[in-house]
Amino acid sequence: MSKFVYLFKEGNASMRNLLGGKGANLAEMTGLGLPVPRGFTVTTEACIQYYNDGQTISKEIEDQIYEALAKTEEIVGKRFGDPSNPFLVSVRSGARASMPGMMDTILNLGLSDTVVEGLAKLTSNERFAYDSYRRFIQMFSDVVMEVEKTKFDAILDAVKEENGAKLDTDLTADNLKEVVKRYKVLYKEEKGFDFPQDPRIQLMEAVKAVFRSWDNPRAIVYRRLNDIPGDWGTAVNIQEMVYGNMGDDSGTGVAFTRNPSTGEKKLYGEFLMNAQGEDVVAGIRTPNHIDKMNEINPAAYQQFVQIADTLEKHYKDMQDLEFTIEKGKLFILQTRNGKRTANAALNVAVDLVAEGMATKEEAILKVDPKQLDSLLHPSFDGEALKKASPIAKGLPASPGAATGKVFFKAEDAVKARNSGEKKVVLVRLETSAEDIEGMDAAEGILTGRGGMTSHAAVVARGMGTCCVAGCNEIKINEDEKYFIDRNGKKYVEGDWISLDGSTGNVYSGQIPTVDAEMTGNFATFMGWADEIRTLKVRANADSPRDARQALAFGAEGIGLCRTEHMFFEADRILAFRKMIVSETVEQRKKALEGILPMQRNDFEGLFTEMKGHPVTIRLLDPPLHEFLPQDEADINALAKELKISSDELKTIIKSLHELNPMMGHRGCRLAVSYPEIAEMQTRAIIEAAINVNKKGMTVVPEIMIPLVCEIKEVKFVKDIIVRTADAIIAEAGVKLDYMVGTMIEIPRAALLADEIATEAEFFSFGTNDLTQMTYGLSRDDAGRILDDYYRVKIFESDPTAKIDQAGVGKLMKIAVEGGKATRPNIKLGICGEHGGDPTSVEFCHEIGLNYVSCSPFRVPIARLAAAQAVIKSK
């Protein structure tokens, strides 16, 4: 018999996979002797079992739940469903990884028409009893029975209005009884049967609902965005209720042991008196600053401060705590490592080392590499910002700068983004879990309500997205899609605004931004990462500007320079097009002669900028027709330049059309058909290196042949390169080292890497193409296909977003082995987009690559991921 249920006192923090994060920490805190309401955890394995059993709870699991319930009743000294001394519980989900707001909690479970009366009598507090009951009916109906929460809110608002109550706390016991009455009528109307009165049925239905919620659409989207596997399941915690809504000597709150925006070592949080559960974060009343608790209940405050400190030292990390005060007595309901902004994460990591609470290695593991992204992007230009005057001010909920067009619905933001709108700002009254995709699509988020711990604030900080929350100076009309600023000006969908998530200011229009800098704790922390990592990090850069950015972010070379990108500029595209449409070798050579000086100049710029760091240059790669003019005006212009008719040119363009260009006439195949292109590019590279070296540098260019699949083809192209290069070097009478290598991006090349290494002096995995060709799935068409695959759960997330270790990774390993067998010192790298993805970087470290190369903005991410790979593999 497997054990599916653990009392809190039976578990501990190391049992996270089984008990979920919340359950494991409740158990750990229980073990530490902290004031945690008693309870038990139904394991994640029980959740998996529930799905395996066709979404039913087996007799075995049910029995174990009732057994644990009986034991808990015994300890607490109250009984489920007993009106004279009722036991009430909360039913709380908790997966291995925290999924904020993804799965809902039910409070006060166990109440019924008779029990509520008993509770009123027992506590001599009728108002409290009915306040608890109305909350329970709403939560149970919403979470378990899928009756919309807003329908209950409407009733509550109506009763408030009828009785002139402004806040929930203004409602009397009689008012709340009326609320309960109407809630039950609503429930019966919606469901066709009465609200369940048997607490055991309530309990089992609630447990099932938590299990079910693991697979609700918003949980699935959240998992996709956060790389959480669908087969982890969620645990369920069943816990004795403690009551923050018993009057003015009771309350509930949340607090971080350090400031989650800045990392400052100072308790940071909010609380509300006479409130329960999510009241603080739901923004229904304005919460108090945690410091104020010291005035209201100094004893509980001191105790809380001490517990916060104990927990921080125990977990060696900043904690995020939930607490409740029942009639002056403090209870701790949750602790976890607090989510924080990237800036706070770095400051906390560096501080923890200084405080002797963590080693450098431990500190390195505390920062999620992906989070750094938010520090690497531009912030507002200081001068421009001084001139701008805010149109409103809200709370600085998540730092950063955003400028974009406003949208008022999550789905509109997503739609705009998908149709190519790069800068979107989502404006909402408040956000909820349904808005996640829209929030992800947005550069910035602006809400009209809610505090620093509101949904929008917490989620935005987690995503590293700029957010201004609780901006009640603006009037938002979501339905009619506009908002009015504090001066009365109206903004409609598509209008530009700018948000400063560090000050809370909102501006009209676009404000220019400036690039990020790596200084202070950021620099210190990255220095530690560099001491630890063994994998080198290069950047993909095509221009001196990219190269400068890459160096500033710590790149140690260029792993990929795409020569074709140099030709898209307006003054060059014509020369390049002439080359493409040439019909004879002579014509092409002539056109190439026009291109040579430009290309040589580009390389000189790049080499100069890189100051002797290695630079890998890839020969022309894309299908030529990508460069051809599409619209009439461009075609006419080119025809005129070529002195041919537009119709003739159109015929040429048509002849270059390919049915499947991804697998078409591109890469080294171009060099096979048109050796003069490879000759010109080699000349440009070698001459540039010679020129730059004359000025005292020692550039060793790495010339890379793309899209190879066959050793004879490698040899053919390499011969062109070597012949050309050696002739130029001899003629110049200088000494110049250069290398010739290949991309590995066709599965056949990976399989035959041992042969290819007889010619190639280095390999660079082009994992974009390698992934597409291994899956036989084109990225350009994958979207629609993947939607269906997600729906039927063949895939949970885009399988091409990271290196697919099972398939693509296997090919990479074969290629590494083959390459090393032939050429033990072969240089190995990766230059696909995956080079900046943390788990892919870890994989590259494991299989023994020498470097990863990624976009300049991802270089720090890769540096950190490479350091983490070393620590994790120890």
* Minimum CB distance to Mg ion smaller for 202 or for 334: 334
Q: Which residue has 């909350």 as its token pair?
A: 135
Give residues in contact with ligand ADP (CB under 6 A). Answer: 37, 90, 92, 101, 105, 107, 239-242, 252, 277-278, 322, 324, 333-334
> In 641-689, at which residue ranges do the beta strands (DSSP E only) sit?
none
Using CB under 5 A as the criterion, what x/- string covers residues 800-819 for binding Mg ion?
--------------------
Q: At closest approach, how far in Å is the CB of 210 from Mg ion?
A: 14
Q: How many CB atoms lie within 10 A of CB 309?
A: 13
Q: How many residues interact with Mg ion (rule CB under 5 A)?
A: 4
Q: Does 771 bind Mg ion (CB under 5 A)?
A: no
Considering the complex, what minimum distance in angstroms separates the CB of residue 432 from ligand ADP?
Answer: 12
Minimum distance of ligand ADP from residue 333's CB (angstroms): 4
- Asked if 861 contacts 372 with a C-beta cutoff of 8 angstroms, the reply is yes
Q: Which of 450, 557 has the CB closer to ligand ADP?
A: 450
* Other C-beta atoms lying within 10 Å of the C-beta of residue 669: 18
> What residue 605 binds from Mg ion, ligand ADP, none (CB within 5 to 8 A, per partner kind)?
none
745 binds, among ligand ADP, Mg ion, none (CB under 5 to 8 A by kind): Mg ion
Question: Residue 324 binds what, of ligand ADP, Mg ion, none (CB under 5 to 8 Å, by partner type)?
Answer: ligand ADP
Tell me the CB-side half-sphere exposure of residue 49, using CA atoms within 13 A: 17
Phi and psi angles of residue 479, each rounded to the nearest 5 degrees, phi first: -65, -45
708 binds, among Mg ion, ligand ADP, none (CB under 5 to 8 A by kind): none
> Is 455 labeled as catalytic in the residue annotation?
yes
Torsional sign, CA 632, 638, 641, 644: negative
Q: If 0-12 CB within 10 Å is exposed, 13-18 middle and 19+ buried, where does residue 365 land?
A: middle
From ligand ADP, Mg ion, none, which one binds at residue 278 (CB under 5 to 8 Å depending on kind)? ligand ADP
Residue 392 or 707 with smaller CB distance to Mg ion: 707
Select the binding partner of residue 57 from ligand ADP, Mg ion, none (C-beta < 5 to 8 A, by kind).
none
CA distance 449 to 472: 6
Measured distance CA(139)–CA(158) in Å, rounded? 19
- Taking the least distance from each CB to ligand ADP, the nearer of 274 and 767 is 274
Interaction of residue 745 with Mg ion, rule CB under 5 A = yes
- HEC-encoded secondary structure of 764-829: EECHHHHHHHHHCCCHHHHHHHHHHHHHCCCCCCCCCCCCCCCCHHHHHHHHHHHHHHHCCCCEEE
Picked from ligand ADP, Mg ion, none, the partner binding residue 241 (CB below 5 to 8 A depending on kind) is ligand ADP
Q: Considering beta carbons, is residue 110 or 706 the nearer one to ligand ADP? A: 110
Q: Whose CB is nearest to Mg ion?
A: 769
Q: How far is CA 775 from CA 230, 782, 793, 801, 808, in A?
A: 22, 11, 17, 12, 8
Least Cβ distance, residue 145 to ligand ADP (angstroms): 19
Report the nearest approach of ligand ADP to the CB of residue 462 (Å): 14
What residues pair up with 613 in beta bridges, in sequence order?
none
Considering beta carbons, is residue 242 or 746 the nearer one to ligand ADP?
A: 242
324: β partners: 252, 331
Closest contact distance (angstroms) between CB of 92 and ligand ADP is: 3
Q: How far is the CB of 766 from Mg ion (least distance, A)?
A: 4
Comparing CB distances to Mg ion, the nearer of 533 and 618 is: 618
The runs of H, that is alpha helices, within 109-252 are: 113-123, 126-143, 149-162, 173-191, 199-213, 217-226
**What distance in Å separates the CA atoms of residue 702 and residue 599, rounded to the nearest whole number?**
16
Q: Is 709 assigned a catalytic role?
A: no
Residue 857 Cβ vs ligand ADP, minimum distance, rounded to whole Å: 33
Candidate list 47, 455, 467, 844, residue with the active-site label? 455
Cβ proximity to ligand ADP: between 94 and 559 the closer is 94
Which one, 234 or 616, has the nearer CB to ligand ADP?
A: 234
Residue 288 interaction partner, one of ligand ADP, Mg ion, none, beta carbon < 5-8 Å per kind: none
- Residue 435 touches which of ligand ADP, Mg ion, none (Cβ within 5-8 Å per kind): none
Q: Measured from the CB atom, is 462 or 766 closer to Mg ion?
A: 766
Distance CA 198, CA 221 (A): 35
779 by Cβ neighbours in 10 Å (0-12 / 13-18 / 19+) ranks as: middle
Binding map of Mg ion across residues 697-736, x = CB under 5 A, - = no contact: ----------------------------------------
Least distance in Å: CB of 242 to ligand ADP?
4
Looking at 62-70, 168-176, 345-353, 768-776, which segment touches Mg ion (CB under 5 A)?
A: 768-776
Q: Are strands 490-492 and 702-705 parallel, antiparallel or unpaired?
A: unpaired
Query: Quick one: 125 or 599, whose CB is closer to ligand ADP?
Result: 125
Give min distance, CB of 324 to ligand ADP, in A: 5
Minimum distance, C-beta of residue 842 to ligand ADP, in the bound complex (Å): 29
CB of 331 to ligand ADP, least distance (A): 7
Q: Which of 609, 597, 596 is nearest to 695 (CA)?
A: 609
> Which of ligand ADP, Mg ion, none does 259 bind, CB closer than 5 to 8 A by kind?
none
Binding Mg ion (rule: CB under 5 A), the pick from 21, 338, 701, 766 is 766
Give 395's strand partners. Answer: 469
What 3-state class would DSSP assign to 846?
helix
Residue with smaller CB distance to ligand ADP, 252 or 840: 252
Q: How many CB atoms lie within 10 A of CB 166?
A: 10
C-alpha span between 203 and 177 (Å, rounded)? 23
Pairwise CA distance, residues 561 & 540, whole Å: 6
- The CA distance from 745 to 527, in Å, is 33
* Residue closer to ligand ADP (CB basis): 277 or 554: 277
**Residues in CB range of 40: below 8 A, 6 or more apart:** 5, 6, 7, 8, 68, 69, 71, 72, 237, 238, 239
Let me know the angle formed at the C-alpha of 859 by 857 and 865, rounded to the nearest 5 degrees.
Answer: 125
Phi-psi region of 116 (alpha: psi -120 to 50; beta: other; left: phi over 0): alpha
Check binding of 513 to Mg ion (CB under 5 A): no
326 belongs to the binding site for Mg ion (CB under 5 A): no
Least distance to ligand ADP, CB of residue 107, Å? 6
- Degrees, nearest 5: CA angle 313-315-320: 95
b/e per residue 314-341 (b: at least 16 CB within 10 A): ebebbbbbbbbbbeeebbbbbbbbbbbb
245 backbone dihedrals φ, ψ, rounded to 5°: -110, 30
Catalytic residue among 466, 471, 831, 844: 831
CA-wise closest residue to 744 among 761, 714, 766: 766
Closest to 355 measured CA to CA, from 305, 320, 321, 317: 317
Is 334 a residue that touches Mg ion (CB under 5 A)?
A: yes
Residue 769 in the binding site for Mg ion (CB under 5 A): yes
The pair of three-digit structure tokens given for residue 277, joined into one six-digit string: 């559960």
What residues act catalytically?
A: 455, 831
Residues near Mg ion, by CB under 5 A: 334, 745, 766, 769
